[in-house]
Amino acid sequence: MRTARLEDGELKIQERPSPEPGYEEAVVRITAAGVCHSDVHLLKGDWTGVPRSGPFGHEGVGIVEALGPGAERYVNVGDRVILGLGGSGGGYWCGACEHCLGGKPRLCRQSKGILGTYSEQLRLYAKSLVVLPDSIGDHEVPLACGGLTAYGAVKKLNQYSLVPGSTVAVIGAAGGLGHYAVQIAKHWGYKVVGVDVGAERVEFVRSLGADLAVDVGEAAEVTRQMFPGGVHASLVFSPRLAGFRLGMDLLRRGGMFVAVGIPADDEGALELSPWELFGKDPLIMFSAVGTVQDMRELVQLAADGYVKTHVSRTGTLSELSTILDELDAGAYTGRAVITDLTR
């Protein structure tokens, strides 16, 4: 089978043997793979301590081809599925520790990530698969991580009692994750301030239904005029540290700050003075991917027409390197999808 792998930070397309499923595992023939911005970070070595060799890609849709012992309890051969937990923690979780039982399997000490979707076939934990309805096309494959991560972040607003009608700033709203967050937050009744860079991206955010779409350079002034005191919550999807700073600056007293993006290590750290914390008394947290149940809920939202993936770029596996370069340069809004893994 053809597969893309990283070898010491270099992207290579190789031929490898087809995998065989083990206990509670399935082999899925990948029909589409989403291109995520975290793939750019991995390729460039932006994150210290993260391996730069091994399988590559973590958003996939495909057909179940084979099952190992016990996997038949979760999926059937022939099922069309989406990978249900993104790259972090979705490859395996124990199901019995305090984190698994508390609904946070990503924190399980035995958790393993899903990697290797830039391949014709992939072997993975059958419990991580979610069966797709026919109405969800292959182009919705970025729901597997980008959509799920955005869903998990917006869901935290409700979990921490931020009621519909509250104002929510989405920093990086035109990006692969942010454009999902705008749609989900609007569907759930929040007032959305979508922030991004440049007129084209701002107009795209406006087309998604944001109550206010604004360029990053004007965001602080315009938002304060529209919403005196600041927004109730900031969801930061930006891969730049400046986006984190802006999210905190827009926040009202007692607001909620949800970090989602992970900037390159060389950008440094987000600095907060104790006086700023004293003055604003914010609730600060990180949000990463979600659970398999979250994936089922998101798939239903997409099937009902409330969430749509904006795909600006498609290509073959051989074009992956070019597409990653374009993504790094901010060449398109929304997402890119590899639609042919065979060439």
According to DSSP, residue 92 is labeled B
The letter for the amino acid at 229 is G
Q: How confident is the model at residue 89 (pLDDT cuts 50, 70, 90)?
A: low
Mean pLDDT, range 114-121, rounded to an integer: 92
pLDDT of residue 334: 78
pLDDT of residue 86: 58
Q: How confident is the model at residue 44 (pLDDT cuts 50, 70, 90)?
A: confident
Is the separation of the CB atoms in 275 and 248 below 8 Å? no
Collapsing DSSP to helix, strand or coil, 277 comes out as helix
The letter for the amino acid at 264 is A
In the chain the domains, ranked by start, together with CATH numbers, are: 2-143+290-340 (3.90.180.10), 148-286 (3.40.50.720)
pLDDT of residue 201: 93
According to DSSP, residue 16 is labeled -
Phi then psi for residue 200, to 5 deg, are: -65, -45
pLDDT at 150 over 80: yes
CA dist 40 and 56 (Å) reads 11
Ranges 41-55, 133-147, 155-169, 277-291: which has the least confidence = 41-55
pLDDT of residue 88: 64
Mean pLDDT, range 190-198, rounded to an integer: 96
Higher model confidence: residue 43 or residue 178?
178
CA dist 292 and 127 (Å) reads 8
Instruction: Look up the pTM and report it.
Output: 0.91
pLDDT of residue 174: 92
Residues 221-234: pLDDT tens digits? Answer: 998 889 999 999 99
Query: What percent of the chain stands above pLDDT 90?
Result: 65
Task: Write the burial class of residue 104 (CB in 10 Å: 0-12 exposed, 13-18 middle, 19+ buried).
Answer: middle
pLDDT at 87 over 60: no
Higher model confidence: residue 167 or residue 104?
167
pLDDT at 19 over 70: yes
The letter for the amino acid at 149 is T
Helix or strand run (H / E) with residue 244: helix 241-250
Residues 267-299: pLDDT tens digits? Answer: 888 888 899 999 999 999 999 888 888 999 999
Is the separation of the CB atoms in 80 and 61 below 8 Å? yes
pLDDT of residue 157: 95
Mean pLDDT, range 89-114, rounded to an integer: 87
Average model confidence (pLDDT) across the chain? 91
Residues 55-68: pLDDT tens digits? Answer: 888 999 999 999 99
Mean pLDDT, range 293-314, rounded to an integer: 93
